Homo-oligomer: A and B are copies of this chain.
């Protein structure tokens, strides 16, 4: 078994990259990740015959081999540059370098409302033609968690409750969250996903920073 405290310390990385170097990485890796997103959709939608599938597969493997020539061995972790620019680029919901992520660009207004407009392609399907309920959960977990951070109460998800009010289509969607209240050390945040016609999924999340995470963050800052 891995030890989460040790792992967490190793993966909180202060690499002192300059903003210019980080922007260069965004400009380099961001478009690659977008191309992989399109490949994911094409892999799901293709009806070409066997020779073409085998040709495409060989190209995909050639690309992966090039990228694997020099690569980190595990998850990306969370990294901070010299100016404090935080990179959670491996994040499954909003990671710039994670082709599984839609990705989300999450913003927070001065009044604390945290929101994102995003597009879900065919790779986020659950019921036929609709967004997977678990994908809605993934997005709401991220948006509610970011809202807790913006409210000054960062934490890991303690409880997440989702109410599916009507089917969530694929395509253009909106998600938002508002900080509701503190209950001791727990931050309670509420939000929803909506399409153009109204709310599809409502969510309430309780976010808590567990002691081991506070200790790991403190050790990382000290190091």
A interface with B by C-beta (< 8 Å) = 1-2, 4, 7-8, 10-12, 28-29, 31-33, 35-36, 38-40, 42-48, 50, 52-53, 55-57, 59-64, 66-78, 88-93, 95, 97-100, 122-130, 132-135, 137-142, 145, 156-164, 167, 169-171, 195-197, 210, 212-213
Contacts and interface: CB of A to CB of B under 8 A. Distances in A.
B56 A72 contact: no
Count this chain's copies in the assembly: 2
Instruction: Please name the 9 residue pairs, one residue from A and one from B, whose CB atoms are nearest each other, closest first.
Output: A134-B138, A137-B137, A134-B141, A11-B128, A46-B67, A42-B67, A133-B157, A59-B63, A45-B71
Given A7-B129, A44-B99, A47-B72, 13 more contacts: A1-B197, A29-B53, A38-B64, A43-B97, A52-B67, A56-B64, A75-B170, A127-B156, A138-B138, A156-B164, A159-B162, A160-B161, A167-B210
A128 B7 CA distance: 8
A74 B138 contact: no
B169 A158 contact: no
B74 A44 contact: no
Given A135-B138, A139-B134, A164-B159, A28 B50 contact: yes
A147 to B, nearest CB: 14
Contacts of A43: 29, 32-33, 36, 67, 97, 99
29 contacts: A1-B197, A4-B129, A7-B129, A10-B129, A32-B60, A35-B61, A38-B61, A39-B67, A43-B67, A44-B90, A45-B76, A46-B68, A46-B71, A52-B67, A53-B67, A59-B59, A75-B128, A77-B125, A90-B125, A95-B125, A98-B123, A100-B124, A127-B156, A134-B134, A134-B137, A134-B140, A137-B141, A159-B161, A159-B163
